[in-house]
Amino acid sequence: MLVMGMMVVWLGCGVERKYEDYHLPPDWDLTLTQQNHPHGFRQTKCFYCHIKANIHEVDRIGHALFPSAKPTVDAQGESSCSTCHGTNGN
């Protein structure tokens, strides 16, 4: 694990790379609301603010859908977000 982590740091050399962390509640159902997403609510261009390579990198809340998040986003892009995160007010 430590070796893997060191490799990531090494490969990321020269690139400012920080995984997104919003201190999600441990029991979060993944649904975006006006309350938990005030700065992104009703927005549609998710990748404008969320860098694809920096999301779904760390399994912090142990949600059952975590393992499928990256493959789904890779395959279906922005149109997939609502599958797990709801309509975001749209």
Choice between 3 and 5, CB closer to ligand HEC: 5
Angle at 65 between CA 64 and CA 66, to 5 degrees: 95
The full DSSP string for 39-79 is: TTTT---HHHHS-GGGSS-S--S--TTHHHHHHHHHHHGGG
Interface ranges with ligand HEC (CB under 6 A): 20, 22, 24, 30, 32, 36-40, 43-46, 48-50, 55-61, 63, 65-66, 68-69, 72-73, 78, 80-81, 83-85, 88
CB of 32 to ligand HEC, least distance (A): 6
